[in-house]
Amino acid sequence: MFILNKFKSMSVENLLAPIKSFLQCETPQAWIEKAKDPDNLSIILIDHLICELKAAQNAMFLIRKYAIDKESASALLEWLKPFETLIYKREGDWRTLPSKNNLTKSVIPRSDSKYGQELIDKMVLLIKEELHHFYQVLEIMDEYGIEYKSITPCRYAKGMLRHVKSFEPDAMIDKLIVGAYIEARSCERFAKLARHVDKRLGDFYISLLRSEARHYQDYLTLAQEIADFDISERVKFFGEKEADLIQSPDDDFKFHSGLPAQG
């Protein structure tokens, strides 16, 4: 058992090494202390649930805006509809969602699309995984007796997106870089939290690390492939903005919130 646990720990550290190098700061200990308080478990899980849906929506937006025709876009929207209906209209049975996590039609690039099949393939896989995670969070919430409720959005994503350029293709490149930071921070926080929660939740957080780590790499790879310039400076720029959001005082405690404000 000791050898197995040591192997798992090494595997996690191997996954986290490039993420720690990518992020410009670690999550403050004060956030971890607040997140591990049992009184805050419901807000962490509810916000995590919403983050999974938002990640799927953002990936779908990128495909619809930049790569596919109207028919394919409609197929994507139908795929997402049961998940959005559950959250926004409180309609449907969450237990049926696994059977609905599939794309019923082929999604192919528009003839005039500059971005092609790779963007579609990476984003479709990401959407499928995020929606699977969405269901898994609902499953855990049910086990813990936590009911979904509407919550205010965290400042984090909006704080990043406000710096996205307004002209193309730079806007798309920036959005992909922002996506990379959101996925990387999620991965880092899952690892931070895993050791402070019960085994059921800790094992779940660890299980998410591999896909989340790949997601951030996919976003960065796509950003560089689309750009006709070295994106290093934009990556550094958004890294600075992300670190500031994580390290600055934040009154609204959420999964991606900053340093918990005193008082």
pLDDT tens for each residue of 162-213: 999 999 999 999 999 999 999 999 999 999 999 999 999 999 999 998 888 8
What are the phi and psi torsion angles at 220 (to 5°)? -65, -40
Q: What mean pLDDT is reported for the chain?
A: 91
Pairwise CA distance, residues 142 & 228, whole Å? 47
pTM of this prediction exceeds 0.85: yes
Instruction: Name the CA dihedral angle for 83, 15, 188, 26, rounded to a multiple of 10 degrees.
Output: -160
Question: 113 pLDDT exceeds 80?
Answer: no
Domains, the chain, ordered by start: 28-258 (1.20.1260.10)
pLDDT tens for each residue of 8-44: 555 788 889 999 999 999 999 999 999 999 999 999 9
Question: 241 pLDDT exceeds 80?
Answer: yes
